[in-house]
Amino acid sequence: MRLWRPSRRLRSRVLVIFNPAAGARRRRRFERVAGALAEAGIRFTVADTAAPGHAEALAREAVASGERVVVAAGGDGTIAEVVNGIAGSDARLGVIPIGTANVFAHELGLPFGAAAIAAALKRGGARLVIPGSARFADGRARLFVQMLGVGLDAAVVASLNGALKRRIGKGAYVVETLRQIAAWPFPRLRLMLEDRAVEGAQVIATKGRFYGGRFVLAPEATPDAVGLSACVFGRGGWGSALRAGIALPLGLLPGLPGLIRQRVAALEIAAPEGLPVQADGDLIGTTPVVVTDAATRIAVVAA
């Protein structure tokens, strides 16, 4: 289904990729933005996604047909799919942040109001960012825009109830996190931070400061800088997980005892094998995985 179409006499200048299964509330938010785009005189077409991975395919088709701006209408996972589709092209990425946490949009200071989003897309000013890249043992690679995690957070993503997420948003993560704290065995991860071998219970590789919304994890990180911030939580168990959960909204997580933060060009998560790997809130594979900067840059319409 196409919610909006340009006049048949006009060639679309912007493709908007939208997930119609995101729920009625997000659909209403999207339709407000679509109305603002039309009022601003922006010629655009909406392409609905039908399944996981479809946003990437739609984005790849769009750049092959000459689209210059591809807009992800959704959350961080949708944005990452679109980035994987436009990577290597000269297409710009637009963002309509209507996801659960919208970490990437907060990171870049992107607008959230309908009129402000339309104004930014009309002006077309862009900021170059460097995505992260996850390469798996089978040679498959996936780009991510904000962060990648292995440990408790990936276990939460792997087991999250999608219907509950659509109903209560961030609350679904809280529910699943509490369930996983009781069930997750917190296996010891064997990691290489460039040439430094370390162990930990949880690792997050991040391109930006924020995690889970506007909560600061790595204040030194910025998405347009070369390299990643590797954040390794040395302690496992439910007590450590609860302390980290309390520290996060209080802004205390970067100084949490037992947390290693290191800027790296490469992070290897070698073992144990077969653990879930999440990136930008979606399950993307299993360990082992090597995390680096992507070889490409993405121009994000930001102002």
DSSP per position, 199-254: EESEEEEESSSEETTTEES-TT--TTSSSEEEEEE---HHHHHHHHHHHHHHT-GG
Overall domain count for the chain: 2
The confidence score (pLDDT) of residue 303 equals 65
Q: How confident is the model at residue 7 (pLDDT cuts 50, 70, 90)?
A: very low
Assess if residue 37 is contained within a domain: yes
Question: Based on the domain organization, do 226 and 136 belong to the same domain?
Answer: yes
Question: Based on the domain organization, do 191 and 288 belong to the same domain?
Answer: yes
- Least confident residue range of 5-19, 93-107, 180-194: 5-19
Question: Based on the domain organization, do 87 and 163 belong to the same domain?
Answer: no
Q: How confident is the model at residue 119 (pLDDT cuts 50, 70, 90)?
A: very high
Question: Based on the domain organization, do 290 and 195 belong to the same domain?
Answer: yes
Question: Based on the domain organization, do 193 and 86 belong to the same domain?
Answer: no
Q: Which of 79, 101, 124 is the last residue of a domain?
A: 124
The confidence score (pLDDT) of residue 136 equals 98
Assess if residue 160 is contained within a domain: yes
Q: How confident is the model at residue 23 (pLDDT cuts 50, 70, 90)?
A: confident
Tokens at 33, concatenated:
């933005």
The confidence score (pLDDT) of residue 178 equals 82
115 versus 158: the higher-pLDDT residue is 115
- What CATH number should be reported for the domain holding residue 198? 2.60.200.40
Q: Which of 124, 147, 179 is the last residue of a domain?
A: 124
Question: Based on the domain organization, do 192 and 213 belong to the same domain?
Answer: yes
Q: Give the DSSP H or E segment for 191.
A: strand 189-193
Highest mean pLDDT among 66-70, 145-149, 167-171: 145-149
Please give the residue range of the domain that contains residue 274: 132-294
pLDDT exceeds 90 at position 146: yes
Assess if residue 189 is contained within a domain: yes
Q: pTM of the prediction?
A: 0.90
Question: Based on the domain organization, do 260 and 172 belong to the same domain?
Answer: yes
Average pLDDT, integer, range 213-222: 95
Assess if residue 4 is contained within a domain: no
pLDDT exceeds 80 at position 135: yes
Question: Based on the domain organization, do 146 and 260 belong to the same domain?
Answer: yes
Assess if residue 299 is contained within a domain: no
pLDDT digits (tens, 9 = 90+) for 234-244: 988 888 888 98
Identify which of 31, 15, 33 has the alpha carbon closest to the alpha carbon of residue 23. Answer: 31
Question: Based on the domain organization, do 148 and 285 belong to the same domain?
Answer: yes
Write the CA distances from 27 to 22, 33, 57, 60, 169, integer angstroms.
7, 10, 21, 24, 14
Q: How far apart are CA 267 and CA 272, in angstroms?
A: 15
Assess if residue 3 is contained within a domain: no
Q: How far apart are CA 30 and CA 114, in angstroms?
A: 8
The confidence score (pLDDT) of residue 180 equals 82
Q: How confident is the model at residue 144 (pLDDT cuts 50, 70, 90)?
A: very high
Q: How confident is the model at residue 173 (pLDDT cuts 50, 70, 90)?
A: confident
pLDDT digits (tens, 9 = 90+) for 243-282: 988 898 899 999 999 999 999 999 999 989 999 999 999 9
Average pLDDT, integer, range 25-50: 93
Question: Based on the domain organization, do 178 and 82 belong to the same domain?
Answer: no
Assess if residue 98 is contained within a domain: yes
Percent of the chain clearing pLDDT 90 (strictly above)? 72
Assess if residue 159 is contained within a domain: yes
Question: Based on the domain organization, do 97 and 163 belong to the same domain?
Answer: no
Average pLDDT, integer, range 45-62: 94
Q: Which of 66, 92, 124 is the last residue of a domain?
A: 124
Question: Based on the domain organization, do 137 and 216 belong to the same domain?
Answer: yes
**How do beta strands 69-74 and 92-97 pair?**
parallel
Q: What's 78-108 look like in SS3?
A: HHHHHHHHHCCCCCEEEEEECCCCCHHHHHH
Q: Is there a contact between 228 and 206 (Cβ–Cβ < 8 Å)?
A: yes
- What CATH number should be reported for the domain holding residue 25? 3.40.50.10330
